[in-house]
Amino acid sequence: MAAKPDNEKYKLFTRRAGLISGGMLVLSSAIIGRMYFLQVVSQSQYKLLADRNRISLRLLAPQRGNILDRNGHELAINRTDYRVNIIPEQTEDVEKTLEALSLILPIQEWQKRRILSAVKKQRAFLPVTVAENLDWETFARLNVNMPDLPGVIPDMGITRYYPEKDTLAHIVGYVSSVNEQEIGEDPLLELPGFKIGKNGMERILDQRLRGKAGNSKVEVNVMGRAIRELSRNDSVPGDTLNLTIDRDIQNFTADFIRDESAAVVVMDVHTGDVLALVSTPSFDPNDFNLGISQKKYDALLHDARHPLTNKTIQGEYPPGSTIKMLIALGALEAGVINEDEKIFCNSKYHIGDTIKYCWKREGHGHVNMVEAIAGSCDVYFYEVARRLGIDRIHKIFDRFGLGNKFDINIPGEKSGLNPSKGWKMATRGVGWQGGDTLNVGIGQGDVLVTPLQLCVMTSRLVNGGKAVLPKILLSETNETEDKIEKMPYTSRHIDVVLKGMEAVINKPFGVAYAQRMRQNDMSFGGKTGSAQVRRISKTERDDGVRKNEEKPWRERDHALFVGYGPLENPRYAVSVIVEHGGGGSKKAAPIAKNVLEYMFSREMKIEPPIDASDNLGEG
Amino acid sequence: MLTSRLQGMRRSKSLFQKLYDLNLFIVAVVFIIAMIGFALLYSVSGGNVDPWAKKQVIRFVIGMAGMVFIALVDIRVWMFLAYPFYFLSLILLIFVSITGHTGMGATRWINLGFMNLQPSELMKIALILALARYYHCLDKEDVRRYKSLLKPVFLIAAPAILVLLQPDLGTSLLIVLGGVSILFCGGVRRWIFVVGFIAMIPTAFGAWNFMKPYQQNRVLTFLNPERDPLGAGYHSIQAKIAIGSGGLYGKGFIQGSQSQLNFLPEKHTDFIFTVLAEEFGLIGGMGLIGLYIILLAYAIIISMSVKSQFGRLLTLGMAVTFFLYMFINIAMNLGMLPVVGVPLPLVSYGGSAMLTLLIGIGFVLCAAIHRDTAISRGGAFA
């Protein structure tokens, strides 16, 4: 064995192996240094990144507050409903599955588009709602067919439900999905399937009804699927709203005027509580919850009778004769007439070169104030209005709420129009004419009111001149009643006007004598009105004014009525308008009468009398 | 003739004596490292022996048997088989290049039924055996001749190019560096390595053109992981987050959010070190590195105490290969190297690498047992 060269090789090997070992040590140190940097120096930074990876804050939707009537009846609630969801990741082909599903429940084309776009936007393991509010039979059939429909998940969820359907639609409104412009500060709005108020109180009191979102911290895996909950803050449900509305009065009224294009307001004259606020025709707010079809929506939008409009606060109408009490009261207060002064009506009233006519072609003869109100004599009120002048008319109109907005918690409230000299100059650029005053004096011309304003006016007349304000939300305490401002009108003067209103219904010379209540212990008073939709021209008048029944619907007069009851210690005020209904005594007064009769009989716990009155008289 | 040779072997040491000489310290360290691997595989499957930990234990047991067998066989037998073993590996490598199992976009495996064999893994061992034998047979003057560089360069280049074509940059690098370490310790002139290193630079540019787009992507992403945080840079970024958030003591066994919630890709194979660092922190990571260093230090000490040049080079080659596995893998986990498919020795899930490394350690143990066996320069039994 050659020992020497091996020895040299051995030395060389040892030297170089040592070098390699040194290299290994250097590289190992580099690794450890790097680990120290990552795990000790930068630990907090990476810990944050790891938590951001794993922790996801999920919002918990609060339960929306219920809306109840004054007696606790449910007007808007959250209802458990049967629905069907689809989980995209569990189906092979969403479109094919929907097709198979449509054999069990019909899926419209527009619904299909909505589902498919939701499927594209969301993560594949999140459910997309296919249909809500399924009936039990469909839901059962779905469950039976589950094995053949992978990814289709029958589910129970919560939806907003309006048990009264169309009768309260204008007050309560409806909720619907959030659109992109509405997404703002509240992250709740970005929650899939979250709905917010789009109309009515649901919209205007949305913040109170919505409640506060809770949240749940969940640990998620890389796919975003929740693994476990780390912590939870429960959501705070929204406030329950108690309305002043009496569901039964509302429903009775709505049913009574179902076939008309009409509005009725019923108020408690002392508290201002709005007991009924009905506008017809209406719509079913439940249709809007899941998204209404375009066709159905277009039909509502283009209906000549405007079902989407809340006529009680959005409809602006000439009040016609219903404001004659204010002219009378204003004149008594101003001392321009006393209640016994008689004015002769031969149906014509001359002002300058023009002639104004009374509705009664044969004239009223000599009438005092009570008779003038009862017979709705236009000539009498031309004269009184002329004496009173527009400034004082404007003032008393304003005092009684005409032209006012009451900020009642329903969106879209209109102010109407209480004309004045200044207003005419500003808008028309011409001065006020004497004829203008006469027109206003019989509720025609420029003056426009809403049914709510008429009801407020009536309340303030019959409650002894207290400036009561309409309320739609029930207050917890009744303290406000005593604090209501009393307006500076002599009660004797008010009594004269009320006597006139009583006579309208209850005296043979009253225009709505046929509508008197024949039941013992029931009584009401009021004032009819009819508002011309279009001016009657000279030639028409010469040819003889056509009767309303002969005109096309759109050209017929609006029928109005304001009323109160009972006559002794009045408690309720009612205002009625029937669009293009013709005469107030024929069309509008019976509605008020029936509503009041219903309310009285309910209080007396008797059956309401069957309406036997005939349509007689003019307004 | 064969029997007389075997009798000659027996004369040197009895089987009992060899077993007695088996370095139990190395076996113990290997065992502990493998145990850490089982625990991590148990953890990444959410506290379950399936699908990885159980299989890995079985492979380890088979590998251990192979390791002990290799250790006990006379070192001269291995020297005799060095070239045949090399050429067998080369043929298999060519075979998979033509027809083989396609996985992860690369052709690397032969299906043996119970496991997928990667010839490139075998080649790492075979190349070291062949080069050790080659340098054993050269005297000091021969080593210094340039002519004698031809054969070893061919031995290294042939498999390296074949593996690069697969394409498997990581393994190719391991093969070249493992082979070069033997040339270095075998006594090749120093300036050759300097020149070789400089020559690497244009070669690297050449290699760039050879790389598949996904490999080029990996390199680019390594240079700037934030370039594509949801795509190619995702591995690297998520691994760093996992390691960094582990801190000094870690998040606890089966508590690593990054690995348990699947933010970490390839967590049972190439990125298992990240799981260790996340769940056991810096302490855990350094503990494993410490075990590796102990194992390597022991192997290098053995290499210096072996009488035959074959035994020395063999042991050192195995140690260098083992170290390269460890370094490349951990450096890649730490975002210091681009993502290449190199497993963490004895820990990552996978049969071929486990087998290769245990066989390698088997040769180290074999050299230790036969440290006093003199082998003539002429060849195995000459």
| Contact list, B309 vs chain A (CB under 8 Å) | 6, 9-10, 13
- Asked if the C-beta of A553 comes within 8 angstroms of chain B's C-beta atoms, the answer is no
What are the structure tokens assigned to B356, written together? 């290769």
| Contact list, B241 vs chain A (CB under 8 Å) | 46, 49-50, 53
Q: For residue A321, indicate whether it is catalytic.
A: yes
Q: From CA A563, how far away is CA A512, in angstroms rounded? A: 11
In the structure, what pLDDT confidence band is assigned to residue A2 with cuts at 50, 70 and 90?
very low
ipTM for the predicted complex = 0.90
Q: A434-441 and A378-388 helices cross at what angle (nearest 10)?
A: 130
Residue A596 pLDDT > 70: yes
Residues 29-88 of B with CB under 8 A from A: none
Q: How far is CA B306 from CA B128, B299, B315, in A?
A: 16, 11, 9
Residue A246 pLDDT > 50: yes
Q: What is the pLDDT of residue B175?
A: 92
For residue B208, the one-letter residue type is: W
What are the structure tokens assigned to A102, written together? 């449509």
Q: From CA B111, how far away is CA A273, in angstroms rounded? A: 87
Kindly report the nearest CA distance between residue B28 and chain A, in angstroms.
22
Q: Which of the following is catalytic: A176, A279, A321, A376?
A: A321
Q: From CA A204, how far away is CA A187, in angstroms rounded? A: 19
For A255, list phi and psi in degrees, rounded to 5: -65, -35
- Asked if the C-beta of A53 comes within 8 angstroms of chain B's C-beta atoms, the answer is yes
Contact B289 A12 (CB under 8 A): no
Task: Name beta bridge partners: A219.
Answer: A55, A228
Query: Do residues A417 and A448 lie in contact, with contact meaning Cβ atoms separated by under 8 Å?
Result: yes
DSSP A607: P
Q: For each of the domains in chain A, give its residue range(s) and CATH number, in order of start.
A: 58-242 (3.90.1310.10), 247-604 (3.40.710.10)
In the structure, what pLDDT confidence band is assigned to residue B231 with cuts at 50, 70 and 90?
low
What are the structure tokens assigned to B255, written together? 């508590």
DSSP A180: G
Using left for φ > 0, alpha for ψ between -120 and 50, and beta otherwise, residue A401 falls in left
Q: From CA A345, how far away is CA B248, in angstroms rounded? A: 106
Query: Do residues B355 and B121 lie in contact, with contact meaning Cβ atoms separated by under 8 Å?
Result: yes
Kindly report the nearest CA distance between residue A218 and chain B, in angstroms.
12
- Closest C-alpha to A64, from A158, A165, A192: A158
Q: What is the pLDDT of residue A612?
A: 46
Span of A130-139, A329-338, A346-355 with lowest mean pLDDT: A130-139
Peptide bond preceding A281 in cis form (omega within 30 of 0): yes
* Mean pLDDT of all residues in A432-449: 91
- Asked if the C-beta of A230 comes within 8 angstroms of chain B's C-beta atoms, the answer is no
- Per the prediction, chain A carries an average pLDDT of 86
Contact A219 B313 (CB under 8 A): no
Instruction: Give the other-Cβ count within 10 Å of A143's Cβ.
Output: 11
- Asked if the C-beta of A42 comes within 8 angstroms of chain B's C-beta atoms, the answer is yes
Handedness of CA A161, A164, A165, A169 (dihedral sign): negative
Nearest CA in chain A to B177: A20
Q: What is the pLDDT of residue A619?
A: 40
- Asked if the C-beta of A227 comes within 8 angstroms of chain B's C-beta atoms, the answer is yes
In the structure, what pLDDT confidence band is assigned to residue B106 with cuts at 50, 70 and 90?
very low
Query: Do residues A246 and A275 lie in contact, with contact meaning Cβ atoms separated by under 8 Å?
Result: yes
For residue A34, the one-letter residue type is: R
Span of A218-222, A242-246, A531-535, B28-32 with lowest mean pLDDT: A531-535
For residue A473, the one-letter residue type is: L
Q: What is the pLDDT of residue A545?
A: 62
Q: From CA B319, how far away is CA B334, in angstroms rounded? A: 22
Could you tell me where the beta strands, DSSP code E, fall in chain B?
Answer: 101-103, 106-111, 116-117
| Contact list, A223 vs chain B (CB under 8 Å) | 262
For residue A245, the one-letter residue type is: I
In the structure, what pLDDT confidence band is assigned to residue B182 with cuts at 50, 70 and 90?
very high
Q: How far is CA B97 from the centre of its chain?
A: 21
Kindly report the nearest CA distance between residue B310 and chain A, in angstroms.
11
The per-residue pLDDT for range A80-122, each reduced to its tens digit, is: 878 888 888 778 788 888 888 888 888 888 888 888 888 887 7
Residue that has been written with the tokens 């002639």 in this structure: A355
* Mean pLDDT of all residues in B217-224: 70
Contact A50 B187 (CB under 8 A): no
Residue that has been written with the tokens 């307004």 in this structure: A619
Range with top average pLDDT, A540-549, B134-143, B202-211:
B134-143
Contact B277 A46 (CB under 8 A): no
In the structure, what pLDDT confidence band is assigned to residue A546 with cuts at 50, 70 and 90?
low
